[in-house]
Amino acid sequence: MELSYFSLSAHTEGTQRDQRSSNPNPNPDYIPPPAHTRSSQADRQKMTTSVPKLQETYNQQGFLTSLPVLSETELREARNAFAELEGEFGEDYTQYSLHNVHLQYQWVMGLTKHPRILQVLQDVLGPDVILLDSRFICKYPIPANLKEDGEEEEGSSSLPYVAWHQDMRYWGIAGGPVLSVWLAFDDSLEENGALQVIPGSHASGMLPHREAVRAGNMLSVNQEIPEELVAAEEAILCPLLAGQMSIHDGLLVHASDPNMSEKRRCGFVIRYVPTCAYPIQDPDRPRKFHATMLICGTDQFNHFSNK
């Protein structure tokens, strides 16, 4: 079975050589997304990967990136709908506080069930999947005076960023993996704070976290993995074009830098688990799950029926 996915393994060897020659990222295995805005169906059919290969790459690396999801029309409609929320609530709120609004807005619910997202979910997690949680995350352009302060006081800046962490540190889940989707509403690039990941770091299990030393951490509990435990030299950037998504395992070590550009970086983060996963009572991870629902397949376990 062949699927139309962009992935790290989906490019031809010649294209890899061309892109690596101009790639500033020191990791030789990193392949940036294509330069065109979005692929045509013919292009996608040329760049396919089998389900076993998709699973193998995800299991080994802990992530996949540059997966096409939204059409031009779908993207435009989603961005227009989000602009209405920005107008209603203000950017201070929409930066991080639109949490589980798939329960309120049908267009958001539709994104969580998008056929291209569900196709990847089922190939990675299996046929039976639960929507665990969702949140919009936006890094808005920083005023020029704050950017200057951030450059002069590097390391002590309060510009919004996301510290090195693992998602599972905040989720009291056992019995199955948590898969996180980042669906890009804007182009997500190095200059506006794109996702950075450490490939294969999910295989190390849960790492210790502490209170973040640097101000500006967008994580709601303000934690980070101590820098001596982060192989930052192995990190690669995962740029996305608007309408594409990346997915990563809940144990993958990842982060993102401040937005130092004049362009917004907004994305819709969705967490999914297979139905075999279940919530646990962990005082260090006291997360409640009030917005879960079966998103595809059947649920023979009903682990989240009482949430």
Comparison of pLDDT for 307 and 138, the residue scoring more: 138
pLDDT at 26 over 90: no
Q: What is the mean pLDDT of residues 32-48?
A: 40
Residue 20 vs residue 43, higher pLDDT: 43
β partners of residue 137 = 267
* Mean pLDDT confidence for 15-26: 33
This prediction has a pTM of: 0.82
Note the pLDDT of residue 143: 72
pLDDT of residue 191: 96
Check residue 291 and give its pLDDT: 94
Higher pLDDT, 145 or 187: 187
Report the distance separating Cα 170 and Cα 7, nearest Å.
28
Residue 15 main-chain phi, psi, to 5 deg: -65, -40
pLDDT on residue 42: 36
pLDDT value at 181 more than 90 = yes
Percent of all residues in the chain with a pLDDT value above 90, rounded to a whole number: 68
| Across 22-47, average pLDDT | 38
Residue 218 has pLDDT above 60, yes or no: yes
Give the pLDDT of residue 147. 54
List strand residue ranges (DSSP E) for the chain, in order: 2-3, 49-50, 63-68, 129-139, 162-165, 173-174, 179-184, 195-197, 210-211, 223-224, 236-237, 244-249, 254-256, 265-274, 278-279, 293-296
The residues, ordered by sequence, that sit 6+ positions from 83 with a Cβ below 8 Å of its Cβ are none
pLDDT tens by residue, 77-122: 999 999 999 999 999 999 999 999 999 999 999 999 999 999 999 9
List, for residues 254-285, the tens digit of each pLDDT value.
999 999 999 999 999 999 999 999 998 877 77
What confidence tier does 220 reach under pLDDT thresholds 50, 70, 90? confident
Q: Which amino acid is at 295?
A: I
